[in-house]
Structures are given as structure tokens and as C-alpha cells.
Amino acid sequence: MATIKEIAQRTGFSQATVSRLLNGDPTLSVREETRRKIIQASEDLGYSMQTKRIVIPHKVALLDNEKSEEAFRDSYYTDLRSALERNAEQQRMEMTVFRNLDDMIACSSKFDGFMAIGADRISEKDLDRLHEAMPYGVFIDVNPSPNLFDSVQPDLQQTMHDAVAACAAKGMKRVGFIGGKGCLMNFYEVDEENRATYFRRETRRFGIQSDGLVYSDGLFTVSNGRALGERFVRDHNGVLPDAVIVAADVIAVGVLQAFNAVGVLVPRDISVISINNQTISQLTSPPLSTFSIDQNELARVATLALGDAISGKRTIRQHAYLSTSLVARDSFVPAK
């Protein structure tokens, strides 16, 4: 293992400065460039185990890969971006935001790694280019290339289990699903979004009837939610199921608009459960019962994962799934 003397010789700084920094002396004041140079040398020389007592500063990029003009959908990513900025600062990460993948790749030499948010599709070719330029990266909410990058995601499989289980606990026999199609949580083109697939499996597990009650198509927008809600009511007029589980609050807002327009009362005629717990879920009529995704925890785990990958030059990819929790409001009242 490297010694303090060897690190001092490598960097040109005194042994006292190196020792105080690597031992986390809170009274030491040095320039950020000095700190980075000493820590980098300590890692290169195999002193990394002894540097875990201090937070290693890094320059990182954030790819904001969400170009939707849907206000409620944008608000989710705005809140997530703010959480990342807070957590990056706590981890001594200097973060620069990019809206364009090519721009970020062009500046890749300036950064130690990157994080990415947003669901706009990235081609396999561009993902390979990104990995070649920036091998250390964490995607949040999505998992476009699990062999190339880390990811942190809400555990939507467990969420759907919990949602269906809550319906079963109330004795509900027929439950529907309304959601979008494609790539909100996965960049790969798919015939059916994961939440719909999980819903089908869980209703079979609990013996709940859902045949003909799955409407999963179109974008994750309020307008698409309203269109799907109108179809749902039209197709099942007079024989509505006991409840409908909606893939995201942004869609649920439109679904509630469709229900209200034709006099379907929630939860008297049908209960509604959603996912995300955005601010708008408290303001709908009625207020939405929705599974909360802790964005600050997504951001915290993502920044720690990126710091670990950079510092340890880790090549084995890690994927974290975080639990969600139901925030019960008027649209669905759980069994006691």
C-alpha cells in the first residue's frame, strides 16, 4: 500500500498537507484543485481504502433527457433535478446540466462521470458512444443499458403488487388499469409498458378479474389520460370495475377529468389509485390516493453510486430498486 511520503512525492505537496487531507482534518484549508490532485494520486497509488473517511470531490454532468411539453410531467423531472443538485452538492460534486447528449459527449473530458434523467429514447449506438466517452454513469428512473451503466429506479413491480393487494384487501373483484405505452421507465421499445405487465400478473395472483380492463397506450400526458378515461367509461358504461389503477399522476389527472365529465363519481362509482405522488395529486377532485416515489432518496442513492463507481473505477454495474408507499387520500380508502 502506498505511503503518505509517496503521495507527497507524486503530487509535490508536503507530507503534512497530504496527511491532514487524507485523514479528514476539518481545519485544513486547501484549493479544490489541490484536494483533487492529492485524492487522485492516493487512488492511483492504492491508498483508496484510507480515503473513505473524506468525501471525494468530482466534476459530473447531468443529462436532462426530457423534452416533453407536458407541464405535469415536466414538474416530476424538475423536482428530481432539484433533488440531484442538492445531493450532488452534499457529495462535493460540481454538476453541469446538459439538455443534449451530443453536447455532453463533446465535453466529456471535463467530467468524471454523469447522471441522467428523463425518458426520451436514446439509441443503442448513442449509448455505446456515451459509454466510450464517459464509462461511469447512473440513469435514474430508467435502465436503458444495464450492461453499460448503473441505474436507480422505483420498484414498480412491488408497487403494482401493493396496489392490487390493497384492492384485494377491500374485497374488490374487478380492477382495471390505465397507462401509457412505450418507454417512460425503459428506453427500449416494448409492446406493453412494465406497469401494465406487472398489473396483469398481480391480478392473476390475487384472483381479480381484469380481462378487457387494461388500457395502456399513448403518451404519459393529461390529454392522453383523458382520452383513455373516456374510452374506459364508454366501453364499460354501467358495469364499471371496482377500481382502476393508473400508471402515473399525470395520466390520472386526465382520467379524473373524463370521469367527472360524464358524472362518474370517485370513489362512489369507482376507486382510483395512482403512482408518483406529485403535488397535483393533492389538488384534484377528489384528491388522489397515490404511491409516493421518494425523489430525494432516488437522488441520494444515485449520487452515492456514481461517486463509488468513479472512486473505485468499478466496472461491474449496479442497479438499485427503491420501495414506494401509498399515500391514501379520497380516491381510494384502504381497508383498515
**334: in domain:** no
* Number of C-beta neighbours around residue 97 at 10 A: 13
Q: Are strands 93-98 and 214-216 parallel, antiparallel or unpaired?
A: unpaired
Same domain as 267, residue 184: yes
- Do 230 and 195 fall within a single domain? yes
Q: Are residues 65 and 105 in the same domain?
A: yes
Q: Which helix (H) or strand (E) holds 104?
A: helix 101-106
Instruction: Please say whether the dihedral angle defined by the alpha carbons of residues 249, 254, 258 and 261, taken in this order, is positive or negative.
Output: positive
42, 22 in Cβ contact below 8 A?
A: yes
Residue 329 forms part of a structural domain: no
192 and 288 co-located in one domain? yes
Q: Are residues 279 and 227 in the same domain?
A: yes
Is the residue at 257 inside a domain? yes
Q: Round to whole Å and give the CA distance between 268 and 331.
A: 9
Q: In sequence order, what are the residues at sequence separation of 6 or more whose Cβ sits closer than 8 angstroms to the Cβ of residue 186?
A: 142, 143, 144, 193, 194
- Has residue 116 been placed in a domain? yes
Same domain, 214 and 172: yes
Work out how many domains the chain is built from and give that number.
3
- Give the model's pLDDT for residue 56: 64
CA triplet 66, 72, 74: central angle to 5 degrees? 20
Residue 24 belongs to domain spanning: 4-45
Q: Is residue 332 part of a domain?
A: no
pTM of the model: 0.81
pLDDT (tens place) for every residue of the chain, 336 residues total: 678 889 989 999 999 998 888 876 767 788 878 888 888 888 788 775 444 545 567 899 999 987 766 656 667 888 899 999 999 988 889 999 999 999 999 999 999 999 999 878 888 999 999 999 999 999 999 888 999 999 999 999 999 999 999 999 999 999 999 998 755 434 444 556 789 999 999 999 999 999 999 999 988 889 999 999 999 999 998 899 999 999 999 999 999 999 999 999 999 999 999 999 999 999 999 999 999 999 999 999 999 999 989 988 889 999 999 999 999 999 999 998
Residue 54 maps to a domain: no
Backbone CA torsion sign across 135, 137, 142, 147: positive
